[in-house]
Structure 1
Amino acid sequence: MSQIYESDKILAEYLLFHYGSDEEILPATQNWPDGMRRALGFPIRTTTHFSNSRPGRGLDLGCAVGRSTFEMARACQEVIGVDFSHAFIAAANQLKNGQSLDFLRLEEAAHFTQLTASLPNGIDPARVEFTQGDAMNLPEIGSFDRVHAANLLCRLPEPVRLLARLPQLVRPKGELVLVTPCTWLEEFTPPPNWPLPDTLAWLKHHLAPHFTLLRETEEPFLIRETARKFQWSRSLVTVWQRKPQEESARTVSQP
């Protein structure tokens, strides 16, 4: 997998993406398009696609610097955040341990503004654990009431390996939220492993034996690179519920 997510530049962009205030990302001195404003808060918004239940265990795959993991801990009694990037996990653990984390927001050229990320209000860090790992080769970590994976699938070399593992990770009647901008790139995923005929149909094909698709929608997101350059993207959101084991067994056994 690419080492791009180990760089100081990308780490700073993701700390701003996850923990920056609206004003720090889109200063009020500028007249920003409404679409950019609606794209703020993506790591929080994706976790709102779970139900209002109070689950026991949660898993956040591709957690980056951890904001969605912390947000899941508002409802879950225990949440594990996993990311392939050592730099992202180190930053998430610093925040979990109560440390503020200074980072530089690039304005242009060699002009930076220093900002600080900190643990969001109302979070019990004792409920959260972060670990570096490969979503395609997870160790035995048990099963979960909720699994969240945002903007991860199209960054995996072999995404089908994760899809095949999901029935073991999500408990019967548990919830799964998959979010992807469907930006399949050769630098991350070899073209033979790209979804056919499209991402949604591919997900349905692989997950339908074990999951019921509850709904699909879209969520925009915004990553600030400089004071004048932003990435505005839109992710496909699919929300699934794990079928009871006996129903899954009947579906798989059908010819």
Structure 2
Amino acid sequence: MNIYETDQLLAEYLLFHYGEDHEILPWPFGPAAALHYPVRCVTECFDLKRLPAIARALDLGCAVGRSTFELARHCHEVVGIDYSQRFVTAANELRDKRELPYLRRDEGDLATPLVARVPAGIECHRVHFERGDALGLREDLGAFNAVLMANLIDRLQEPRRLFARLPSMINRGGQLVIASPYTWLPEFTPRENWLGGFEHEGERRTTRKALQSLLEPDFELIKSSDQPFLIREHGRKFQWSVAETTTWLRR
């Protein structure tokens, strides 16, 4: 079974995207700077002042949609696409009802009922969610002023196929934000398709260098940052990771 279709992963991502600080991290000594990652991917990674008054945005690999909703604060239309039908169904319910109950896993079979909520001030009618494959996006998707790909590229079988299409999907002057911890694993991406994380002829190949090679003919790198994130598995087990984020301007 695809792990992204399970109850456990759905609940983990609803908490990751919508959980209150104390619901995710109850201890004052925890890594609080890693909270609010889906929001930071929008507010800290895009140059929001560059967006036109009427802008289209794409959140590719949107999971349960928090970044998609945050983009709707700044864009007239936002499309969120994810490969997981469970994630897309949950995101659509949040769009329609603005809230969704779920169970947070605490210990073993013990759980706490919580509710994911779309924050106030977001106009949900601007948002559309659909299931889709990043390597086979529909041809009539159109072009965008802002594209976010958070924690996506190292989960694709052939990431270079997506990069080949990106220039036609982003308007001139538009922005592309890529956020990833670069966790290359053969169960998701065959080794021969990794963008980085290996040696070739004695040279260390990093994902950052590969991104520059793939994007610089059509994009200019305008900023980068390190963004931590925290995914709670249960009451005493967490995934703490650091994504490198790069922001690219379409030439």
TM-score by length of 2: 0.93
- Please list the CA deviations of residues 72-99 of structure 1 after superposition, one character each: whole Å capped at 9, or x if unmatched: 0000000000000000000000000025
- Report percent identity of matched pairs: 51
Matched, 1:239 2:236: no
Unaligned runs of 5+ in 1: 244-255
Q: Which runs of 5+ in 2 are unaligned?
A: 197-204
- The yes-or-no answer on 1:75 pairing with 2:74 is yes
Q: CA deviation at 1:158?
A: 0.5
Q: Look up the match of 2:46.
A: 50
Distance in 1 between residues matched to 2:208 and 2:18, nearest whole Å: 30
Pick the aligned partner of 1:211 from 216, 219, 224. 219
Q: 1:169 corresponds to which residue?
A: 169
Superposed CA offset, 1:85-126 (max 9, x none):
000000000000025211111111111001011221111011
Paired amino acid for 2:175:
E
SS of 1:175's equivalent in the other structure is: strand
Partner of 1:148: 148
- The whole-number CA distance in structure 1 between the counterparts of 2:250 and 2:132 is 24
- The equivalent of 1:124 in structure 2 is 123
Q: 1:195 Cα deviation (Å)?
A: 1.4
Distance in 1 (CA, whole Å) between partners of 2:100 and 2:39 is: 19
Q: Per-residue CA shift, 1:129-179, capped at 9, x if unaligned?
A: 000000111012110000001000000011111111110111011011000
Give the aligned residue type for 1:231: Q
Q: Which of 220, 223, 242 does residue 228 from structure 2 map onto?
A: 220
| Alignment partner, residue 31 of structure 1 | 28
> Which letter does structure 1 place at the counterpart of 2:94?
L
Residue identity in the other structure for 1:202:
A
Q: Distance in 1 between matches of 2:174 and 2:195?
A: 25
Match of 1:192 in 2: 192
Q: Return the offset for 1:31.
A: 3.4
Between the aligned partners of 2:48 and 2:79, the Cα distance in structure 1 is 19
| In 1, Cα distance between equivalents of 2:158 and 2:189 | 7
Kept in 2: contact 1:62–1:84 (CA 8 A): yes
Q: Distance in 1 between matches of 2:32 and 2:184?
A: 26
Amino acid at match of 2:41: T
Q: What corresponds to 2:210 in structure 1?
A: 202
More strand by share: 2
1:106–1:112: 8 Å Cα contact kept in structure 2? Answer: yes
SS state at 1:121 partner? coil
Provide the rounded CA distance (Å) in 2 between the counterparts of 1:44 and 1:74: 11
Q: Distance in 2 between matches of 1:119 and 1:95?
A: 7
Q: Distance in 2 between matches of 1:99 and 1:174?
A: 29
Aligned partner of 2:28: which letter? Answer: N
1:250: which partner in 2? none
Q: In the TM superposition, what is the alpha-carbon distance from 1:217 to its structure 2 partner?
A: 1.4
Task: Indicate the RMSD between aligned Cα atoms, in angstroms.
Answer: 1.0
Runs of 4+ in 1 over 3 A off after TM superposition: none
Aligned counterpart, 1:252: none
Is the Cα–Cα contact under 8 Å of residues 26 and 32 in structure 1 kept in the other structure?
A: no
Contact 1:62 1:149 in 2 (8 A): yes
